[in-house]
Structure 1
Amino acid sequence: MNKCIYFLLFLIGLTSCNQDISINNTGVMQGVKDNVAWRATDARATVESANTISIEAVTINETLTLNIPLPSRFVSPSNKIDPYDLSKINNGDVTYSFSIDGVTTDYESDLDIDNPGVIAITEYDGQTISGTFRFNLKNTDDSSEEAKIVNFQYGNFYKVPVTP
């Protein structure tokens, strides 16, 4: 009788175990910002025009936006395109802002910065976009007490959903 009860409890325990899997439909963007791990809570990409895509990542008080040329074709690891060199793209194509106690500080890419950085698209299928990035961004307010340069390195974005 005891064996039957133990066996019955074992079967109940086995059948009550389940795995709750939820689908996360948001992209991931992360990297190292000023030598500290940084990760966005949400990332989205929007086709702005026939030749521009905007990838935006947000946290509670930060926004990082990459405005880059829209790939002219689908991209895969075996079908690569050249990285976008920020020293050859217009100022302000990458922006970062954060707010603390109601004060917002804005940074943007600037051609006058040493080693402005690069953005590389590793995958693009029209539905999602993935890639890597590293760059330095300049504080847009010369009178600000915040750091004059913010540095992102080892950055990547993965399967960020693209909205036409």
Structure 2
Amino acid sequence: MKKIFLILFTAVLMTSCEEDIKTNNPSVQGRLENVFWRAIDSKAELFPNGSLVITAKARLQTMTLKVPSKNKGVYVLGQNMNRTASFLFDYEDDTSLFYQTGVTTEDDFQGDGQIEITEYDDVNGTVSGNFRFNAYNVLNNPIGGEILNFNQGVFYKVQVRVVPGD
């Protein structure tokens, strides 16, 4: 009887020791206003002019990172419109908040930060890197309004779709 109980106990113990591994590939995540944020969907698009746009979505929020090239390197934000970070809060009551780095007028630069491409994998069609930015609320106050902070941002093995040219 003891042997049967021991065998049954061992069998139950062994079957309950399964590993439930959750992969985080691809992933876009970071700290939005010092609170952990993770996208539930992400994609990247490579355009014929060479620019790369990474889009990450989480429920009613959309973040977009734009750089002029897929090449490895650090792209400084807030100096022109071909290197931007934006964040959209699209609420269910049809109101929105839109934050962006870039240029509001010819000589007015706003926001700051950087996007770093650490790996562009041509074989698998993925892009990885990190980012951080301070973006201004451009819908309600286009010059010097409320600031949104996103730091410790990482995008990892986001699938890239090559957009065909005309």
Among the aligned pairs, what percent are the same residue?
35
* 2:149 maps to amino acid: N
The 3-state SS of whatever aligns with 1:51 is coil
Matched, 1:119 2:115: yes
Distance 1:92 1:106, change over 3 A: farther
Instruction: Tell me the TM-score normalised to structure 2 length.
Output: 0.76
Kept in 1, the 8 Å contact 2:43–2:159? The answer is: yes
Counting matched residue pairs gives 151
Of 92, 104, 107 in structure 1, the residue corresponding to residue 96 of structure 2 is 104
**Letter of the 1:94 counterpart:** A
* Structure 2 unmatched ranges of 5 or more: 104-108
Runs of at least 5 residues in structure 1 that lack an aligned partner in the other structure: 73-80
Q: Which runs of 4+ in 1 moved over 4 A?
A: 20-24
SS at match of 1:154: strand
Within 5 A, what are the aligned runs for 1:1-150?
2-14=1-13, 16-17=15-16, 18-21=18-21, 27-72=26-71, 81-90=72-81, 93-100=84-91, 101-111=93-103, 112-113=109-110, 116-126=112-122, 127-142=125-140, 148-150=146-148
Instruction: Name the CA distance, whole Å, in 2 between partners of 1:40 and 1:21.
Output: 19
Whether the 8 Å contact between 1:95 and 1:109 is mirrored in structure 2 is yes
Q: Per the alignment, in what secondary structure is the counterpart of residue 83 of structure 1?
A: strand
In 1, are the aligned partners of 2:29 and 2:153 still within 8 Å (CA)?
A: yes
Per-residue deviation at 1:21?
A: 5.0
Q: TM-score, normalised by structure 1?
A: 0.77
